Structures are given as C-alpha cells and as structure tokens.
Structure 1
Amino acid sequence: MGPIRGLRRKRKIEKVVDQNAALSSLPYQPESLDWWDHFSKRITGPSSQLKDLPKFESVLKISRKTFNYICSLVKEEMMARPANFTDLNGKLLSLNDRVAIALRRLSSGESLSAVGDLLGINQSTVAQITWRFVEAMEARGLHHLRWPSTEAEMKEIKSKFERIRGLCLPNCCGSLSDSLVLKSSTFFKLSEEGKRLNGEKVKISEGTELREFIVGDLGFPLLPWLLTPYQGDSLTDSQANFNKQLSATRMVAQRALARLKETWRIIQGVMWRPDKNRLPRIILVCCLLHNIVIDLEDEVRDEMSLSHRHDSAYRQQVCESGDDSASILRDKLSLYLFGRLPSIDSST
C-alpha cells in the first residue's frame, strides 16, 4: 500500500516546526564576530577585502552591544514559527541576518527593492522579515516605552528641564507638538482626569500652586497642565521672558523628534503600500528602538549629526481655545520667572 497522500508533506512541516522550536528554546548567544564580515559582503560583493568592508555602526546605526540586546529580545518570535527565509542563493538567513535586514529597512528608509538589491534578498522576503520584526518588538519591547512610574523618576525629569540653558522653569515634565494628536490621545484624557501630571505641586506665590505640566506651541490649547506661549507683538518683559523659556524647553522635543526621524528614516521615507496601513505600528517600534538606544547608553547615538528641525515643512498653527484659570496661572508664573515673586518653595 502506498503512502497516504499529503503525509510526506505533513512530516516535512512538522520537522521544520520541531527544528524551530528547538532553536528557540536555546538561550541566545551572539554569533561569532565574523558574522558581520559575511553579511557585509552582501553589500560590497564576495570578493571584497576585510579592510573594504563597511563598519557595522554605519550600516545599522547602532552598536554591536545594542544589536545583540535587540536580537535577544526578538529571538523567540523571529525564529519560533516556520519560515524558511533565504537569500537569492538559497542560503537560510540566521537570526542576526533577519534582525540586520529589518534594522536596515527601518533605519535607511530605502524601498523594499533597494534593500533587497543591496543585500541580495527578494523584496518580499525583506517585507516579511521587517513585519515579523515589528510584531516581535511589539511583543517584547514595550517596557522601553512607558510613563515614569516613580516620583524619583519624575523628579529627575523635571530637574533636567529646570536646568535647560541655565533657565528655571519649575515642575515641567515634557514638551509636545500637535494639538489634534494630543486631544485624541489617552494621555489627554488621563491628564484632564488628574491621573497624569498629578505629582508634587510647587508654590509660586501666596495661594498659588503649580501642578506638573508640559509645554506646547501656539497650536495647543492653554490648560492648567499644558502651558503655551503668549501671542502678539506687544508683550511685557515678563511675557517675553516666559516665551523665551518655553521656547528653550520645546527645543528638547524638537531635537528628540529630529533624532528619531534621522535614525529611523522609514518614518519619512518611501512607504510600500501595505506598510502605509501599518505606519502607526512601525512608528511605535521605531520609538521603542530609539528608547533602547538611549537606555543602553549607545555611544553611536552621540556620534550622529543632528539637526534641530524635525519637519521643515511644518506651518505654525494657532489654537484660540484656552482655560481662564490656566491663563491666570501663566501670568503668575511669568512674573515669578521674571523675578517679581518670592523664591520657589516646595509644598506637598
């Protein structure tokens, strides 16, 4: 009696699953240092000499230490499910290969065909590997994107904002840029309900306490927890000084967004049509990668050139809405900053 139809194919699939399961059960060990030599020859050609190979950091925008950590995060999801990803020569792609391909796609912003041609891989393989990496990062890397969980963490953030360029903007916890995004966010709802920016208050004058707040540009509404600049040309000295301090603080957000976009250029690059529908998830993963580089104190981050503008085509919008109590608070804070009110005093 002949074999049951389909049984041979079923056994083959089960074998692949077993192999992948066995691989995923092993603790992650970084591949040997010559892995990069082999991988980089995909870019320069197999006849390239060792001295001609590109530097790891110049291609993937991160250090080997950070790369190994990312591989350890995504290993299980990248390798557990059966997927015979190969290059154009039929060679099976390792975990390092797959992560490097995804990082190259996200950091360069190049099209799928450009990345595929550069690395000798089919563009559909580049797409599948990149998306699997995105899913793996969502599953394993979310702890790198969170609101400060302790008062000590928040105090450190506020202290850094207060020391910007020698200025003194008390109780500021961050900067924002785009009103529509803010109002549709969970952060807006939580802040309005007093569940965010609800830490220690500071006393800026008799009977006036300043809660934790963030700053925004003129496109945002003026709120007790969101302070914006004064409008107009005929400003008092205290108002002009206040605007100056807010502008210096907002530069932190400008630089952060500029670095994010310059490092992970897929955010501003050519998007393959299916990627466009997944853009929010891709941006999330780029933010996770960005924070991992910061958390691991990756030295490559400090070596990158940085512009201060993240969106040269941005047109300043003006939001006319505001809160009366926030307007009064802003006036008192501007006077305090200008030195007309007593020195700051912490209160519980």
Structure 2
Amino acid sequence: MPPLRGAKRRRKAALEKKAAAVAMASAAAGDPPGDWWEAFCIRMSGTLSSIEDAQRFESIFKMPRRAFDYVCNLVRDEMMVRSCSYTFLDGTVLCLEDRVAIALRRLNSGGSLVTVGSSVGVNHSTVSLITWRFIEAMEERASHHLRWPDSIEMEKIKSKFEKIHGLPNCCGVVDTTHITMCLSSAEPNCKVWLDQEKNYSMVLQAVVDLDTKFTDIVTGWPGSMKESSILHSSGLFKLCEKGERLNGSKLKVSDGSEIGEYLIGDSGYPLLPWLLTPYQEKDLTESSAEFNIRHSSARTVAPRTLAKFKDTWKFLQGEMWRPDKHKLPRIIHVCCLLHNIIIDLQETAVDEAQAWPSDHDAKYRQQVCQLADENGVRVRDKLSQHLISK
C-alpha cells in the first residue's frame, strides 16, 4: 500500500488514537471472564477445564485476558461490519469475542483451517474469512503499537542498554529470521525464495529493544537475499543514512570526540557508523575483546525475542503450504503488532534473564559480511577504547 499523506494520515492517526483510548479504558476495567469464555471452553473441549481460568485462557490465546479485551475493543468496528454473516455450525451467530478468538487461534496454534475450524465448531472457510478480516482490522487500528521511539523513549532505551550491558548510546539490536514456506518447483519465480539452506522462505528483519519490543520491522523480501542486502533495501537504512534516525544525543568519549546513536547486529551485517558489529579478528586487543563481550551479551535479546515470537505465533513457524506472498507480509506485521501489544499491556517488567529459547532459525548458519565503512571502523574503535577507560 502507498504511504498515507497529509490529511488522510492525520485522520487515520486520530482514529487509531480514539480506538486505542476506548480499548485501553475497557481493558483497564479488568472484567473477569464471563459467559462467553465458559461457552468457548465448552465448544473447544466439551467440558470446562479444571485449570484456573487465567492459566487456561493464556494457554489458548497466548496473551492475558486484559490484552485480549483490549484487542477486541480495538478491532470491534471492523470485525462486526457483517454482524450476522458468521455462525457456528449449530447456527449460533459469532460474537466479537468469538471472532477474535478464532483469528488468534489460527495465528497462534499453527493448525490448518480445517483443524482450527473443527476445534471450535465452525466451517474452515469461516476461519479463513474471519482471520483475514482480523488482519485488516489490526492494520487499520493497531499500527501505532509498532513505531520508532520518540526522543524521550529512546533515552530510556539507551539508559537500559548502558545499565545492563555497559553499552552507552545503544538504541537497539537488529536481526533477521526466516519464515519458511512450501512451494512447488513449477511455481513461477520460485527460485528467488530459495535461501542459503535450500529452504523456500520469506525474511523478517527486526530492531528489538531490551523490553523485547519491536521498534522497526521490514518483511516481504525473499530468503535468497542476504542480511546485508535486506538492510540496504530497507527504509531503516535510508532514514539512518540521511540522518533522520539515530540522530539524538551524542556520547562524549574519553578522547573528547563524540559518538552518535547506534544499533548493534551480528557479523552478517556491514559495519557502519550507526550499526556496530563484532570484531572478527582472532587476536583481539583488550579493548576489542571487551567490546565483543558486551556486544554479544546485549545482542542475545534479538534472537531470544524472535524465537519467542515464532513460538507464540506458530502460523509463522514450520513450512506454510503455498502461502499468498502478497498477504504473508501483512500477517507477519500483525503478529508483530500483537507481540508489542502484549508487552505494552503487561503489568510487570520483562525479565531479561528469563530462560527463553534462542534458536529462531534452526539449522541456519551464521552469515558473514566483510563490508566495513571507514567511519564505522573508527566509531567502533573509539567506543571500544572508551569502554575500558571508564
């Protein structure tokens, strides 16, 4: 879709803000599960589970009730446009909560349309139609949950990176993951989706903060592209190169010079003034070794976040059978929005020491990029010296 401009963008932002305010107020009320939840449990299992409601709810929908209620209120208008069009097999009309629940089950269970439909008592075509309506509604109403941080938010992100990992002025970690697909070799242009491990895949590039939130994503690119190529093709790269991002307060280092804001990434990325990668030499100096230690420690948040993300939204895990490659980026985007919403509404801070899986790209080898900008080399060296001189 083309970018929104002028008055249209302002109207969309106003609608999003109003919808979010209404949804947040409703979610804050903290209404306990009622008749809808009990009826849904019976449809799924034939009997109410002995597991406590809250645990049962989160095990099914991968989010607390508060977040579920917020999402329902956010997408209410779009999801209920055809209020009597969708029914259970027994003829009962699906309420708003039913529709959102079915869409979430489709995204987080990894089950087929038939499997999800059978589990809740609806036709598989109903699951398909409701899920796509949900995707469109989330795009329309929830896009404000995934945006680049403002200056105040960025200062908090930088402070956290310095406090926890000793990396001052760091604004996030960039990483990529592969969403694998099952394509026919007879399909036109199928080879472009063939990645380095001989899987058909689509790539998601994400910038992650220490609260495990996505602050920037780009997706839709084929698996045949390397991490460095995807970066260079992204809006993130263009904005950073033009100085429109990572242009906040600078760090004054020990020799009196200044270092701007930066991201960190693994060795699959080029070394740039605003994207610092680890030293790849074997014999490292004291300062280089110290930088690599801190860099490695901070960078782990990205693979752990991507692993948790794919484990939650199992629709994106495993091989998808001939997906619509025009719709798939939009589904990935909405799963990222849902990921951020759950974090935004959680009542306790993320425990970075929590034992999450980190293998989001099983059997994928580490890519290595040898590109190194001269200014990037200088910035990394200055920062490394600063770290051991403090």
TM range (shorter): 0.7 to 0.9
Q: Is residue 2:80 matched to residue 1:75? A: no
User: RCO higher in 1 or 2 (8 Å CA, sep ≥ 6)?
Assistant: 1
Question: What's the CA shift string for 1:59-107, capped at 9, x where partnerless?
Answer: 1111111111100000000012466111222221111100000011111
Match of 2:166 in 1: 168
Change (3 A) 1:241 1:142: same
TM-score normalised by L of structure 2? 0.74
Of the candidates 244, 251, 262, which is equivalent to residue 311 of structure 2?
Answer: 262
Change (3 A) 1:136 1:49: closer
Match of 1:124 in 2: 125
Match of 2:339 in 1: 290
| Aligned residues with identical type, % of pairs | 54
- Distance (whole Å) between structure 1 residues aligned to residue 308 and residue 329 of structure 2: 18
Match of 1:16 in 2: none
Q: Is the 8 A contact 1:230 1:239 kept in 2?
A: yes
Change (3 A) 1:49 1:223: closer
Of the candidates 248, 261, 271, which is equivalent to residue 297 of structure 2?
Answer: 248
Q: Is the 8 A contact 1:222 1:323 kept in 2?
A: yes
Amino acid across the alignment from 1:312? A
* Greater helix proportion: 1
Once the two structures are TM-superposed, the CA of residue 42 in structure 1 deviates from its matched residue by 1.5
Once the two structures are TM-superposed, the CA of residue 172 in structure 1 deviates from its matched residue by 0.3
Higher Rg: 1
Amino acid across the alignment from 1:173? C
Q: Is the 8 A contact 1:42 1:118 kept in 2?
A: yes
Once the two structures are TM-superposed, the CA of residue 265 in structure 1 deviates from its matched residue by 1.4
Provide the secondary structure at the position in 1 that maps to 2:335.
helix
- Distance (whole Å) between structure 1 residues aligned to residue 134 and residue 94 of structure 2: 14
Q: Is the 8 A contact 1:57 1:300 kept in 2?
A: no
Q: Is the 8 A contact 2:248 2:260 kept in 1?
A: yes
Once the two structures are TM-superposed, the CA of residue 237 in structure 1 deviates from its matched residue by 2.1
Change (3 A) 1:280 1:49: closer
Match of 1:38 in 2: 39
- Distance (whole Å) between structure 1 residues aligned to residue 347 and residue 173 of structure 2: 24
- Distance (whole Å) between structure 2 residues aligned to residue 111 and residue 235 of structure 1: 51
Question: Which deviates more from structure 2 when the two are superposed, residues 96-105 or residues 308-317?
Answer: 308-317
* Greater strand proportion: 2
For structure 1, the residue ranges without an aligned partner over 5 or more in a row are 1-26, 344-348
- Distance (whole Å) between structure 1 residues aligned to residue 244 and residue 360 of structure 2: 30
Match of 1:11 in 2: none
Aligned length, in residue pairs: 308
For structure 2, the residue ranges without an aligned partner over 5 or more in a row are 1-21, 176-226
TM-score normalised by L of structure 1? 0.82
- Distance (whole Å) between structure 1 residues aligned to residue 90 and residue 349 of structure 2: 33
Provide the secondary structure at the position in 2 that maps to 1:84.
coil
- Distance (whole Å) between structure 2 residues aligned to residue 200 and residue 284 of structure 1: 30
Match of 1:15 in 2: none
Change (3 A) 1:87 1:270: farther
RMSD (Å) for aligned C-alpha atoms: 2.3
